[in-house]
Structures are given as C-alpha cells and as structure tokens.
Amino acid sequence: MAERSFAKEVQQLRIGAGAEFRGEGILAVTKALLQAGVSYVGGYQGSPISHLMDVLADAREIMEELGIHFESSASEAAAGAMLAASVNYPLRGAVTWKSTVGTNVASDALANVASGGVKGGAVIIVGEDYGEGSSIMQERTHAFAMKSQMWLLDPRPNLTSIVNMVEKAFELSEASNTPVMLELRVRACHVYGRFTAKDNVRPAFGLKDAMENPVRDVNRIVLPPANYLHEHEKIDQRWPAAVDFIKKHQLNEFLGGATGDVGIIVQGGLYNTLIRALEMRGHADSFGEGKIPIYVLNVTYPLIDGEVVGFCADKKAVLLVEEGQPEFIEHELNTILRRADLPTRIVGKEVLPRAGEYTGQAMIDGFDKFAQKYAPHLAGDRPQRAPAVANTPDLSKVVPPRPAGLCTGCPERPVFTAMRLVEKELGKHHVSCDIGCHLFSILPPFNIGNTTMGYGLGWSGASALNDPTAKKRTISMMGDGGFWHNGLTSGVGNAVFNKTDNLLVVVDNNYSAATGGQDILSSRAANKSRSTNHPIARAIRNIGVDWLKVVRTYDLQTMRDTLKQALTTGEKGPKVIVAESECMLNKQRRVKPQIAKRIKSGARVVKERFGVDADTCTGDHSCIRLSGCPSLTIRDNPDPLRRDPVAAVNNDCVGCGHCGETAHAAVLCPSFYRADIVFNPTWWDRVRAKVRGGIIGWLQRQADARRARYAV
C-alpha cells in the first residue's frame, strides 16, 4: 500500500459531463485518460508523478469497470515497452514516469516504438523533475523528443488546459502515427484547481479483441529493411501530419495583444509565471489580458513553421521564454526565421538565465533587459528588484541548511551507523551509492558515499574497482526498489559473472520507500492485485552468490560485525548483505491504528520510547553524529553551569531503539534510557509495580532526606 491513499479522491473520477472536478493535477490527468478512452496504463513511480501511480492504483476498481489494464511496471523500460500494444491495434495507452531519469531508462523501448510508429494513441506523461525540489541531474526531456521524433506537449499549467491536452495528445498520436510525450513540471503535477468534466469512455476496441485477433505488419518492426523505411516515414508522412493536426486544432495559442513590434514566445508550462511577471510590470492583468502579443507553445516539438513566421513577420524582436538548456527551441526558431529570410531578432538566453529554473524574478529581470534593449517604451523606470531593507541581519549566514535525511526510526540508519563504526576500525572504504532513501547517507551526519550512477546501478558503479591485489574492498549500496528495477541483473548478475571480490549491501525495507511506499516484488504485505513476498535473498542466491548474509538492521552490533567480516574475510567472490527491516514511516502508518485499537479494547500493550537523561548528558552530541534521527535533538542545558545544549529525544520517537544500540556499540555514555509504558496492566503488573515502587520509593526518600541535611 502506498504512503498516501487517494481512495476518497478517486471517486471524483466517476463524475460525468458538465460536472465540476476539483483536485490535484495528477488526479485530473487520470480523469483525462478515462475521458480519452484508454485501454491500458503503466508506469514507474517517482517524484513528481508518484501520486499519479498511487491514484491509478487506488482507482483500480473504476478502471476495471472500463476494461482498462493497469500495470505497476518493473521499470520505465518495461512501461515504455508496454506501448507496443498500440503498434498493431487501435488501442489507446498511456505510461508515466519521472523524467529525465525515467526517460533515460525507457529510451530503448521508446526509440523502437517511435521508429515503427503507432496505430492507437500512445501517450507518455513525464513529470519533469527540474528546478526547485528536484532530486536529479538537471536535463531536458525535450532532447528525447527530438532524437526519436516523438511530439512533446507542454500545456499551460491549469487543469482545463492540461486535461484538454491529454485528450488531444491521443488524437495527435493517432493522426501522425507517433507516440506523444506530455510534460508536466513539478508544480503542475501538484497544482490544485478545477475543470469541467466529460463522461468516461469505454474503448470500443478492447485488449481482449487484440489478443484474440492478432495482427502482424512486418513494416512496423524495427529490422531491415523496415527500419530505413521508418526514417523516411517520420519525415515525409508523420511530421507533416502532426503539423497539420496541431494547426487545425490550434494546440498552440495566440494570446495577449494582436499586434505590436515586439512579442513573446513561451513554453506553455511557463505561461502563468510569465503573466505574473508581466502583471508586476504593468503589462498584463490577472486574466492574462495585455497589449503584448504572446505565442504560447503548448506543443514545443515540433515547431509549426507557418505559425512562427506569421507571429514574427511584423516584429522587430521576440522574447523567447525557454527554460533549461541546451536552448533547442531558440536554435530551431532561428533556423525557421533564417529560412524564411525574416530579420526578426529572437531574444532568449541573451536576457534570460542560460541555466536554472525560470522563477518569477528571473522572468522579471529577463523581461526588463529585453524591454530596455528592444522595446524601451515597455521598460518603464521601475526598480529591478523588490526594495531591500537596510540594516537588517544577513540571514543567509544564520539560517542553517536542511539537507534531506532519514526519517525518525528509519531502519536504514543503523546500516550507516554500523558503517561509521567499521570506518573507525578499518578506515574509509570506497562506497558506491544507488538511488533511494539510502542515498541520504551522503549528507550529514553520515557523510558516506562516493558516487551514484542511477537506479539499481550501485554495484555496477563499483565494477571497475576490482583489482584483486587491493588491500581494501569496495562497498556498494542498493535499495530493494533499485534491486528489482534492474539491480538484480546489472548489479548482482554482473558482479557474479565478472567475479568481483567486493561487497554489496541491499537495504530491504519492504517497499519502494523513497517514492512513497509502493509495493514491490519483495514486499511482505499481502496485495490483492499484485504478487508479493518474493525474497531478495532467494533471488541473490539463485543468481550465484555464495557469501550471503541476512541481517536485521536494528541489530547494530551484528550489522557492524557482519560488515567487518565481509570486508576482511579471506573468502573470494561477491559478498552480499541483505539488511532488512520494515520502512518505519509505513510501519507506523500500519501499526499505529492497530495499537490504538488494542489499547482501547483493554488489551495489555507496552509502548517503548527512548529518552536522554539531561543530568548525565554532557553535551558532546556523539550520539547525534552517529545517528541523525530527527527525534534525537538538543535542548537548553538545565544545568546553569553548562553552556552546551544537552541531547534530548522528542515525542516523535517511535521506540526503534537505535539510539540505545548506538550508545552500546560505540561505548558512548550512560544517558540513554528506555521507558516501557504499560497500558491496561494485568493484576500481576500492578502487584509487582506496587512492591517495587514501595521499596524503591522508601530508599529514595532516605537518600533525599540525607542530601537535604546538607544541601546548598
């Protein structure tokens, strides 16, 4: 089960024509898919489209009613290959993932499906993880669209436009026999808004029809001689068909003023930010009305030569708002204008940042520069930035950074504490990281990890470092998500085949945790619609690893000793430690209501939580440096003589016990205590507590009285 449930929200997916839909962008996309009559949907979770996968999973019932097959794909490559169903059959299908990383993984399949072309509408919804909040390399999906000649839609970020473009994407795909990508930026995925719904459509031609009446067309298969044919088809047929469709259905929009000697061309997704910037400069109102002509590219690939030439013909200069780099659109626009022999100046990266997100401020600054140089009558004499307040402290030196970290009670924390303890004994090792929560090890307080090469590629990332004469082994990390994504083959299989002598630690926390707690093959939960409970250790053993240990992560001393053993054993060959314990975020979500219910029903329940004695804590914070648990924090020292804050455990503590284990394993200090809080005690609990309390209390009173006789 995923971290967030959309069970309530998905009921909105049933609303019919004319009703108003209110909700998040990704929920609206799902509704749009249903309205477009899709037959199959797949994808791989990851911000910012994780919720799209969660919504689809929660909407299973509705999708089944419409005869739609939904798959939680094993990887983006698997999802991309799903589109093959639209090659021979009039089936509409959609897949989704985080981009560009997911598009990287899916590229092989996408290039194939784009080469052969499609009969049914094939749409790829990519969550463009770019700019603030992104966790990946900053690249553009645009490049993939260009290289495989798939069309790229970038709708204005309001639900009406997004939903409309999803539906149009299928039509465009069918009209031009080409897969279509629809790009949603982070904020657009999460945007809350409204649109007027249409009825859901059950596809006339279903999956069953395709399976029972197979069609074969050798010209659609990427193999000579058809592969040569495909390239010509793309240029001679599919491209012109797409251009016709885009023009005819006015997918791009001409907004703002009708005429003027300057104008603006903008990617659809950036339209709202542009309008806000213009509004702050007095050139637009809250409805986007204004005098400056704006050409909105809801389709950013391909560009429509005729529209571009028409827009630019009467203009001296055009501001191009194109986020990211390389500036593909700017290059293409210049080519179009040159071919049309138009002198219009395209002003893009000349005034706007060459790299980085186009924030409101970046657009205001860019517009000001543009206006000063090419349209002085629009420039005005406003200050460049919001007025700075004089004589206030420089907060950038005060406010501390907040790097992402492992959650309270996270089962992965002990793995890295153990690695730090081993590091103290054996020195530093080269650590090859993977993608997942465990990648936070590279940040404080652990500061462990040298590289990360992509999802499931932790062990392959260390494959070159395999010199048998080296005195130290490398350590590679991999999460269960990455393991099933491709780590089993490109990591473990690769290491076995190439006879590595190094160590892999697989963190098995029962979920694809970093992306929102989705189930995967090795999840322990019973899942009605998926096959789970396939142990990672079994897969590893069967692929040929002999040195394999399974360790419960919270058992810190065993964790440390096993790591040490793996790094020092004389035994040759690949070594794998599967470190397993359930993701605490998901565990708490699962057990908290159960415990509350048990307490309410009168059953005996013992809740554990940890604390630090302020009396014995001396404020060195070694414990924090070895753990970094969010619930392990600091507070004012109650001793007026001491200046350093003491460690303290706050009430978020889930009682995982790691801080106590650390104090033991690292021989830290005697300040940690565990409190066992008993709910609904038995009569024996009560009698025992009474006897103990009586004797202990009496002794304590004696000691107190003695101290009182000489107390200052």
Partner 1 sequence: MTTQKPITIAVMALGGQGGGTLADWLIEVAERSGYFVQGTSVQGVAQRTGATIYYIELFPEAAARAAGKDPVLALMPVPGNVDLVVAAELMEAGRAMIRGLVTPDRTALIASSHRIYAISEKSAMGDGRADGAQILEAAAAQARTTLLFDMEEIARQKGSVISAVLFGAIAGSGALPFARRVYEDVINADSRARESNLAAFAAGYENAQAVSPATPQDATPAVEAASHAGRALLEKAAKLLPPEVLGIAAHGLRKVVDYQDIAYGEDYLSRLGGIAATDRQFGGARKGWELTREAARHLALWMTFEDVFRVADLKTRGARFDRVREEVRAAPGQIVGVSEFMHPRVEEFCDALPAGLGRFVLHRAGLRAIFGRLFGRGRRVTTTSLGGFLTLFIVARLGRFRRRSLRFQNEAAAIDAWLSTAAEAAAKNYDLAVELVACQRLVKGYGDTHARGMRNFETLMTAYRRLIEDRDAVAKMKRLRQAALSDEEGAALKRELGVIGLA
Q: How far apart are CA 80 and CA 40, in angstroms?
A: 12
Q: How far apart are CA 279 and CA 273, in angstroms?
A: 10
Task: Please identify, using beta-carbon distances, which residue of 218 and 389 lies nearer to partner 1.
Answer: 389
Please report, as residue ranges, which positions from 599 to 658 form the binding site for partner 1 (by CB under 8 A).
Answer: 609, 611, 613, 615-616, 618-622, 624-625, 628, 630, 632-634, 639-645, 651-652
Per DSSP, the three-state class of 126 is strand
**Residue recorded with tokens 């069918």:** 174
For the bound state, the minimum distance from the C-beta of residue 575 to partner 1, rounded and expressed in Å, comes to 26
Task: Please identify, using beta-carbon distances, which residue of 171 and 652 lies nearer to partner 1.
Answer: 652
Check: CB of residue 92 under 8 Å from CB of residue 121: yes
Check: CB of residue 282 under 8 Å from CB of residue 227: no
Task: Please identify, using beta-carbon distances, which residue of 94 and 410 lies nearer to partner 1.
Answer: 410
Q: How far apart are CA 278 and CA 286, in angstroms?
A: 10
Q: Which stretch binds partner 1 (CB under 8 A): 220-228, 320-328, 535-543, 661-669?
A: 661-669
Q: How far apart are CA 151 and CA 300, in angstroms?
A: 8
When binding is defined by CB under 8 A, the residue of 12, 39, 47, 200 that contacts partner 1 is 47
What mask, x for binding partner 1 by CB under 8 A, covers residues 531 to 570?
Answer: ----------------------------------------
Please report, as residue ranges, which positions from 404 to 423 form the binding site for partner 1 (by CB under 8 A).
Answer: 404-407
For 310, the token pair is 């028409």
Tell whether residue 155 is a contact of partner 1 (CB under 8 A).
no
Task: Please identify, using beta-carbon distances, which residue of 216 and 709 lies nearer to partner 1.
Answer: 709
Q: How far apart are CA 227 and CA 217, in angstroms?
A: 13
Tell whether residue 89 is a contact of partner 1 (CB under 8 A).
no
Q: Which stretch binds partner 1 (CB under 8 A): 33-41, 324-332, 354-362, 460-468?
A: 354-362
What mask, x for binding partner 1 by CB under 8 A, covers residues 193 to 232?
Answer: x---------------------------------------
When binding is defined by CB under 8 A, the residue of 355, 399, 464, 526 that contacts partner 1 is 399
For the bound state, the minimum distance from the C-beta of residue 159 to partner 1, rounded and expressed in Å, comes to 9
CB hemisphere CA count around 305 (13 angstroms): 10
Q: Which amino acid is at 484?
A: W
Question: Strand order in 293-297's β-sheet?
Answer: 253-256, 293-297, 262-267, 317-321, 345-347
Please report, as residue ranges, which positions from 664 to 683 form the binding site for partner 1 (by CB under 8 A).
Answer: 664-665, 667-670, 672-679, 681
Query: What's the helix, strand, coil split of the chain in %, to 5?
Result: 40, 15, 40
Task: Please identify, using beta-carbon distances, which residue of 88 and 141 lies nearer to partner 1.
Answer: 141
Sign of the CA dihedral running 108, 110, 111, 112: positive
Q: 98: which strand partners?
A: 127
Preceding omega of 100 cis (within 30 degrees of 0) = yes
Please report, as residue ranges, which positions from 16 to 45 form the binding site for partner 1 (by CB under 8 A).
Answer: 22
For 703, the token pair is 């000691």
Check: CB of residue 7 under 8 Å from CB of residue 174: no
What mask, x for binding partner 1 by CB under 8 A, covers residues 492 to 531?
Answer: ----------------------x-----------------
Check: CB of residue 321 under 8 Å from CB of residue 270: yes
Task: Please identify, using beta-carbon distances, which residue of 348 and 660 lies nearer to partner 1.
Answer: 660
Q: How far apart are CA 197 and CA 21, in angstroms?
A: 6
Q: How far apart are CA 262 and CA 281, in angstroms?
A: 16
Q: Which stretch binds partner 1 (CB under 8 A): 215-223, 452-460, 500-508, 698-706?
A: 698-706
Tell whether residue 160 is a contact of partner 1 (CB under 8 A).
yes
Q: Which stretch binds partner 1 (CB under 8 A): 308-316, 388-396, 477-485, 489-497?
A: 388-396
Q: How far apart are CA 377 and CA 31, in angstroms?
A: 45
Q: How far apart are CA 402 and CA 424, in angstroms?
A: 26
Reported residue count of the chain is: 712
For the bound state, the minimum distance from the C-beta of residue 419 to partner 1, rounded and expressed in Å, comes to 16
- DSSP letters, 87-110, are HHS---EEEEEEETHHHHHHHHHH
Task: Please identify, using beta-carbon distances, which residue of 182 and 186 lies nearer to partner 1.
Answer: 186
Please report, as residue ranges, which positions from 264 to 303 form the binding site for partner 1 (by CB under 8 A).
Answer: 271-273, 275-277, 279-280, 284-290
Please report, as residue ranges, which positions from 311 to 350 form the binding site for partner 1 (by CB under 8 A).
Answer: none
Tell whether residue 663 is a contact of partner 1 (CB under 8 A).
yes
For the bound state, the minimum distance from the C-beta of residue 16 to partner 1, rounded and expressed in Å, comes to 21
Task: Please identify, using beta-carbon distances, which residue of 495 and 665 lies nearer to partner 1.
Answer: 665
Q: Which stretch binds partner 1 (CB under 8 A): 338-346, 468-476, 494-502, 704-712?
A: 704-712
For the bound state, the minimum distance from the C-beta of residue 585 to partner 1, rounded and expressed in Å, comes to 8
* Total residues interacting with partner 1, rule: CB under 8 A: 123
For the bound state, the minimum distance from the C-beta of residue 447 to partner 1, rounded and expressed in Å, comes to 10
When binding is defined by CB under 8 A, the residue of 11, 16, 61, 135 that contacts partner 1 is 135
For the bound state, the minimum distance from the C-beta of residue 522 to partner 1, rounded and expressed in Å, comes to 21
Q: What are phi and psi of 430, to 5 degrees?
A: -75, 125
At a CB cut-off of 8 Å and minimum separation 6, what does 677 contact? 606, 607, 608, 609
For the bound state, the minimum distance from the C-beta of residue 668 to partner 1, rounded and expressed in Å, comes to 7
At a CB cut-off of 8 Å and minimum separation 6, what does 132 contact? 186, 357
Strand bridging mode 253-256 / 293-297: antiparallel
Task: Please identify, using beta-carbon distances, which residue of 90 and 193 lies nearer to partner 1.
Answer: 193
When binding is defined by CB under 8 A, the residue of 208, 385, 428, 499 that contacts partner 1 is 385
Task: Please identify, using beta-carbon distances, which residue of 532 and 622 lies nearer to partner 1.
Answer: 622
Please give the C-alpha separations between residue 421 and each of 417, 566, 668, in angstroms, as whole numbers.
6, 14, 12
